Amino acid sequence: MSTDSHGDHVHLYGESTGETEVTFQLTHDDHVEWETPDAIGVDVLEE
């Protein structure tokens, strides 16, 4: 996966087809303030 940040949102791009998991973290002053409680499953499909 690669990402593209746009200020208040982000785009995620799959590098190859298949399954992966994503975890989001919100950081402040070099430490994690919040993290998704479970990884989010993602299916990357061919366009």
pLDDT digits (tens, 9 = 90+) for 1-46: 898 988 889 999 989 999 999 999 999 999 999 999 999 999 999 8
Tell me the β-bridge partners of 43: 19
Global pTM reads 0.67
Rounded to an integer, what distance in angstroms lies between the CA atom of residue 45 and that of residue 42?
9
Of 4, 13, 40, 5, which is closest to residue 24 (Cα–Cα)? 40
Residues in the chain: 47
Tell me: pLDDT of 47 over 90: no
**Structural domain range at position 20:** 2-44
* CA 44 remoteness from chain centre: 13
Number of domains in the chain: 1
